[in-house]
Each structure stands twice: as structure tokens, then as C-alpha cells.
Structure 1
Amino acid sequence: MMGVLNHLSTLLLLSLLPPALSHVVDKFSDVPRCQKFFLEGTTPNLPGILVGGKVQDQNRYKPICQLFNNIYRFATLYDTTNRIPVFSAYTFTGNTSGRPSQSWMIEPQLEDINNQRDMKVDNKAVTHNFQAADADYDKNKMKMDRGHLFPCSHVPDDETMRSTFTLTNAVPQDSSFNRGRWCKMECNVRKYIVENCKNNNKIEAYVVTGAVPNITNKLNNRVNIPDIMWTAYCCKNNLGQWVAGAHWGENKKINTIQPVKRKYPGQTSNTGMHDMLNKSGDDGGGVQVIPDQTSNSLVGLYDKLNKRYGDGVQLFPDQCPKGDIPRALLLKVGGDEQDHCEYDDCVCSSVGVKGYYLPVVFVSVLVMMM
């Protein structure tokens, strides 16, 4: 009898616990283990979409606590009308290498598939109503990749890497943009965080990456092709200072050398850099100099997003600094070596300065802890 009572008591206690196994939720705060992907549990503020942690249109925008093999890996706010994520948020705690043998997955709860909470491999024969399908990308003639928001090069282990291969974490991304300067930016952000974002000798940074939808442009007449990709990070650096940075770029093929708006001592011109890198490269040319808009401060990104969403955009709490500081005060990203992207392997490999991959110029900001 006592055993039966204990069993009933356990069931009662479990029924009173918060929905820790929820996946598609009303609010990210519904799942405490999902809040850890946001600095101080504070979700981004995007007017008309997500304000004060509350989704403004719950029929359209779905918070997803990304669950893979019964562990929460990251968080995504998904737009079921455009069939792309608004953003994915994750905590960077280190990185691994290699690329898993992982098929692309979908979120079953968006389609109410047997109320399955975990990700599932997509059936390419099926078209989904509220999310992109693998079939949308297959054999598309627009040269669009399945572009990760939470990149597989930013993960601490193999299981988390596999979890990033969900189409709720991907947008149609121009292949030259995804495999080129955006990939290079991801590698350099990774290198910066690994070397500078250490608290008590532990790597930790909060990252939010998103996409601004296009008005009319669609893949397979279903999936919105975003105009702009953006990412932002915030952490305490090795000196106990808060540091933040933001990067963005237009999601399109770049086949011309764009002018650099800012020059720093020792930085060559675009033409000179282009010639130098082409001469040192092995491919006989074709080097692209990374445009300046892929690297800016939080305030620059906020201004950009405010024009799309309305005033009031904020991605992190106030301790994450928003403005520029003199370049001389910025922490270094390595020595003479820079990272380039091995797109097929989800890894970043170091090459010397004579290589033909140009690093993103960081414009980060920091404040002293009082």
C-alpha cells in the first residue's frame, strides 16, 4: 500500500512541474532550461514580434526550445508565415570539429505530428504547411543553401552539432554569401570568443543570429529568402569587461569589390588588397574583399533593425555596450594567423597571412566592470 501511495505522490509532483519537455511553447520562459540561452534570461525585443518576452502574434510566431535527444540545445523564434526563423539564440561554450552524417530535420509540433517533442528527420515526399521542407531546397535553381543561424562551427560537441541541422534553424542563403564572407565572419567570431570571452577560465558568450525577411522573394514559391542576415554576441572578456559586437550583410551574390568605408593604420586599399591576395592565392584570382557592413557595433545593428521592425530593438540587457571604441583598445584576435572557412566540414582552419582569405574586421565594444 505504501508503495502505491509513493508512486501516486511521485506522479502528482511530476504533474505540478513546469513543462520541461515542452518544445514549441508560448514563451521561452515556460522552459527554464531554455532561458539559459539568453543573457540573464532576457529575450530580444523586436517590435511587433517579441516584446517583453511575449510573442505579439502567437498564431504566426512560435518560440521553439530546440530539443535533440532529450537535451535542450538552443532556442529559436520561428515565423510560420515566411517559413524561416526570426532568430536563433545560443550560448557559445567551445567548439568541436568535423561534420556529422546528419539529415536535415523538421519540428514535428509545428505540424502536430503525433505531438512529437523531439526533432525528426524530414520526409522529402511531404510538403509542410507551417515550415520549410527539405524538398524546398532540393535541386533549386536559385543556388540557395540551407543557411544555419546557429552555425555548426560554433558547437561544443557532436550531439549539439547534429541539432543545428533542423530547417527551423535555417534560411535560404545565397551560396556564395553563405560559403564566402558570412562563413568567414562566423569563423572569426568563433576565434574571437574562444580567445577573449573567458570568465573564470571558462569560455562563455551569448549569441543571437537572425534574418530580416524579403517582401516578395521566395524559394519554391513558399520559403522567404531574407534580405539581410545579422548576428550579435555579448560576453565578459578575460579582463572582466563586458564586450559586444554585431555583424550583418546582404543575402546576395557579391561579384564586385565594394568600397571600404573605414580605414585603419596599416590597412591597404581594396584594390591593393585585391591584387595582393589574388597574387598570393592559388586560384588565379576571384578574391572578394569583405564589405564593411559585415562588421559593426550593436548600435549600428539596432539602427538597421529599427528601420525594419520599428524603434525599440534590443538584443541584450543594458550591460552589453552598444557603441564603438577606439580600435587601439580592442582585444586582439590571434596573431598573424586568421581563420578561413572549410564549409563542407563545419570547421574553421588556420592559414597564414599569405593565404587568400581575408578576415572580418571586428568593431567590438567594451566597458569596465565598476
Structure 2
Amino acid sequence: MSEVVDTFDKCKQFFLNNKAPVFTPEDVSLKYICQCLWDNKGQPIYLYATLYSTSLKIPVFSAYVYNRNKTIGRCDAWYIEPQLDVPSTTDQCMKSKGNNKHIGTNQALNSDYEKSGYDRGHLYPVLHTNNHLSMLATSTLTNAAPQDSDFNRNTWLKHEEAVINDLYSCDKEAYVVTGVVPDMDAPKLNNRVYVSKYYWRATCCQKGTQYTGMGYYGPDKKNEVKTLTIEDLNTKLQEFYRGPTPISIFNCQKPERKRARE
């Protein structure tokens, strides 16, 4: 259901101006994943992109393009990415419990969540998909992190619905990046998987002649979602992650023009 790659070149279309965020958390091992399904001819259909931490065993962010939503049914069969643990494998997808002794070395498994009290919190949520393939592709644990169940099912769900209402007025597709800030002090799931302290999201789209963006993160001290500018979200994330370089999710402005052919 995905490809572990060296760069996001194969799925750069899910980033504004084809440019991935400048995002290097400190002391985190990162893998680039082009999330996809495979057609009947064995060719990948790319659907979104994920930056995944094998040391935290949760994603850093998932990036996707939002188009006007229509109701999509949900499938809760969770998968994993075998290439994270067995790079030489030819398996293109695998059930979340795995069938290889190495599976789970670098990623979360379904068994980590059992009786944990945490939800598998989507970064690219089913609510923001608009076709059956995208819905299926979101059901991978590389697109989820342990999220407080009450926050996930209430406050964050209402936020995702509010984002749909905001992006409905976009004249064209919207670019969205959703990520997780790990709680470095909380007990890990199964002594392996870091839980989320904050979820965050950034959006950008064209409305009329303007390109507008918005940043969000939560829960705050009141268990709510805070709204802020993308620039302020960059600053907040830099504070959260304490990475070696400044964070820049994207510059929400008119997309760069393609160079004319010479």
C-alpha cells in the first residue's frame, strides 16, 4: 500500500509548489513514504505522502490534496508498511499484526494499541477523502498515532469538520499537511510507541485572487484546538520539536509558474 523512498519526488504533487516541508526534528530517524494503492497492472496510484519516524514509531506528518468532499464509507482494516522493517521484501502491503519476525522493529503494530485506551488517530482522515481509493490508503498505521480517545472523537473531529467548511470556499484544490508532536514524557504504548502530545494541521488554497492559509494545533490547556497563522505554527512547532533547523511547512502564496520550455 505504499513505497518507502529516498525522496518525495514520486509523490511531490501533494505538496504546495511540489516542495515538501522543511522539517528535521532532533534525534529522530526519518523515512519518506509515498502512500499508494496498486492497480491491476502492478502500477502505483499515489494518494498522499508521509514522513515517518522509525525511532518514535509514529508519523511526523502526512500531506494530501483536499478536494470538495463527498461522503465516503469507512474501512477499519489497518495495515502496516513491511518495507520499514524488511527493506528487501516484495510484499506491497501487510496486515497490521505482520507475519515476519522482524515486523514491528521500526513501526507500530495493531497489538500496540490493544487495551491501551488510545485511538489510532488518522493524520490524513477519512473525513477529508473524496474517493474509495484514498479512504483505503488512509488505513495504515504509518498514517496514525496514539491519540487521546476523547479528543479524537470530539474536539479534533469537530475541527476536521470545520476545516471542510473553511476549504469549501476554495476555488481550487487545497494543500494540507497534518502532523503529530510526540509526548516525550508520557509512557509509551507497549513500551514501544510514543503517544501524541499535540496534533497540528496547516492548510493553503486559493480564494478569489488571494492564497490563504491557516494553522491549527491541539489540545491546548482547555482541550481545545488553537487557530493561528502558518508562520506562528512554524514557530510553535520549532519550540515543540527543538530541531536543528527552522521549520517551514509551506509558504502559502501563489504557486510558482512552470518554466517555459526552451
TM-score, normalised by the number of residues in structure 1: 0.61
Q: Is the 8 A contact 2:2 2:93 kept in 1?
A: no
Cα deviation per residue 1:82-111 (whole Å; 9 max; x = unaligned)? 100000000012323243334100011112
Q: CA separation in 2, counterparts of 1:84 and 1:152?
A: 18
1:38 aligns with 2:15: yes
Cα deviation per residue 1:340-361 (whole Å; 9 max; x = unaligned)? xxxxxxxxxxxxxxxxxxxxxx
2:147 maps to which residue? Answer: 173
**SS of equivalent residue, structure 2 residue 5:** coil
Q: CA separation in 1, counterparts of 2:191 and 2:164?
A: 34
Query: Which range moves more in the overlay, 127-136 or 160-169?
Result: 127-136
Higher percent of residues as strand: 2
Q: Is the 8 A contact 1:124 1:134 kept in 2?
A: no
Task: Give the count of matched residue pairs.
Answer: 244
**SS of equivalent residue, structure 1 residue 223:** coil
Displacement of 1:125 after TM fit? 7.3
Query: Structure 1's 97 and 45: CA in aligned 2 closer, same or farther, altered over 3 A?
Result: same
Match of 2:251 among 310, 317, 323: 317
Cα deviation per residue 1:9-28 (whole Å; 9 max; x = unaligned)? xxxxxxxxxxxx98101111
1:99 aligns with 2:56: no
Summarize the alignment of residues 183-332 of structure 1 with structure 2, pairs less than 5 Å apart.
183-194=157-168, 196-199=169-172, 204-217=173-186, 218-237=188-207, 239-250=208-219, 258=222, 291=224, 293-308=225-240, 309-310=242-243, 312-317=246-251, 319=253
Match of 1:138 among 100, 114, 126: 114
1:162 aligns with 2:136: yes
Poorly superposed stretches of 4+, deviation over 4 Å: 124-127
Q: CA separation in 2, counterparts of 1:123 and 1:106?
A: 8
Letter in 2 for 1:43: A
1:9 maps to which residue? Answer: none
**SS of equivalent residue, structure 2 residue 196:** coil
Cα deviation per residue 1:183-205 (whole Å; 9 max; x = unaligned)? 110111012112x1113xxxx00
Q: CA separation in 1, counterparts of 2:252 and 2:91?
A: 34
TM-score, normalised by the number of residues in structure 2: 0.85
Displacement of 1:61 after TM fit? 0.5
Q: Higher Cα Rg: structure 1 or 2? A: 1
1:14 maps to which residue? Answer: none
1:64 maps to which residue? Answer: 33
Q: What is the aligned-residue RMSD (CA, Å)?
A: 2.4
Letter in 1 for 2:126: C
Q: CA separation in 1, counterparts of 2:81 and 2:24?
A: 25
Displacement of 1:117 after TM fit? 6.0
Displacement of 1:220 after TM fit? 1.4
Q: Is the 8 A contact 2:204 2:252 kept in 1?
A: no
Alignment gaps of 5+ in structure 2: 39-43, 255-262
Q: CA separation in 2, counterparts of 1:153 and 1:250?
A: 19
Q: Is the 8 A contact 1:96 1:158 kept in 2?
A: no
Displacement of 1:312 after TM fit? 1.6
1:80 aligns with 2:54: yes
**SS of equivalent residue, structure 1 residue 118:** coil
**SS of equivalent residue, structure 1 residue 230:** strand
Cα deviation per residue 1:193-242 (whole Å; 9 max; x = unaligned)? 12x1113xxxx0000000111213211111101211100000111x1210
